[in-house]
Structure 1
């Protein structure tokens, strides 16, 4: 006799007795891999605009796609390029797929890169239309969800919340944009457009 905590509900029993759900899930993840793989060449070309503005080591790591099963209990896929996480700080752009939630893209700076460029980027964003972007107000800048404890829509109030983070935390700056998974057919255009937007922002602020 199995104990109560390992008994299956009717729905769970139906799922465990069938293979279609897992096979479909694997097929979807494979398509996200393909989507991110198709985006890489264009992203690498966009990165060329930053090569003369940032140290060469920032671009030394090649683009990387990787997946997991347990971000808040759900599968995810990530593409990072650039993906520099060094002793002096981080400079990374991350494309993110989160099962049951959204596609997102984020720029993450920490250490010297945040200290050198964060305020310039905030000023640049404030002077243009970044209404669909969010700024991270969480001390843990490795989180990806868009709850109000992590990301807030970019505006004067959220920028102030970002600046009010504990001063003893490692300096960081993170902005992100998302679309729902119901807009699957628009995902490629979304990532290309927003990636160009981030590179534009970086070149304007780092090059000034």
Structure 2
């Protein structure tokens, strides 16, 4: 008799016998990977036409797409472009797919880059009344969910209060639900361009 702690429920038994489930899941992840690959080429073109980021070291690392199975027990895919991480500083625009949850795009600044760009970003959001951007209030900069412990939506009423929170990093994000799959490509292109405009300190 199988031990109780490894006994399958009816639903689990149905899934483990159904190879189509895993094959479909793998196919979906592959399509996200291809989506991010196509976006990476578009992002490269946009960056070549834009001078918002004058620091050459930000572009020394090639764009990277990577995937995993265990962000809070669920599969994910990420694209970082541009990306620059070292022991003290961070600069990345991150596209994130999280199974069962959302597509998101995040501007992640740490150390000197947070000091250099965060005020320009917040000013642009405030002056242009940009909607549906979230500000990271967590002390842990490596979390991606939109729970109330991690992000709060930016409004005219709270923008000065939340951005006064002292941290050594700065993160803003937008998201759309996965049901809007057909809108994901435009979502990423439009918001990548919006982030580049925020970074313009001229």
TM-score by length of 2: 0.94
Match of 1:73 in 2: 73
* Structure 1 position 86, deviation (Å): 2.2
Alignment correspondent of 2:190: 193
Q: CA RMSD in A?
A: 1.6
Matched position secondary structure for 2:132: coil
Q: Which runs of 5+ in 1 are unaligned?
A: none
Name 1:142's counterpart in structure 2: 142
Deviation string, structure 1 residues 77-120 (Cα, Å, up to 9, x no partner): 00110010024411100000000000000000000010122122
Measured against aligned partners, the alpha-carbon deviations of 1:15-73 in whole angstroms (never above 9, x if no partner) come to 11120100000000000011111111110122225557432111011111100000111
Query: TM-score scaled by structure 1?
Result: 0.91
Structure 1 residues 90 and 49: CA distance shift in structure 2, 3 A: farther
Q: Distance in 1 between matches of 2:163 and 2:148?
A: 12
Q: 1:99 to 1:53 in 2, by over 3 A?
A: closer
Kept in 2: contact 1:121–1:202 (CA 8 A): yes
Aligned residue in 1 for 2:107 = 107
- Write out aligned runs for 1:52-71 (5 A): 53-71=53-71
Residue 158 of structure 2: aligned partner: 157
Unaligned runs of 5+ in 2: none
How many residues are aligned here? 201
Report whether the alignment pairs 1:175 with 2:175: no
Alpha-carbon distance change, 99 to 159 in structure 1, aligned in 2, over 3 angstroms:
farther
Q: Distance in 2 between matches of 1:31 and 1:199?
A: 26
Distance (Å, rounded) in 1 between the aligned partners of 2:193 and 2:53: 16
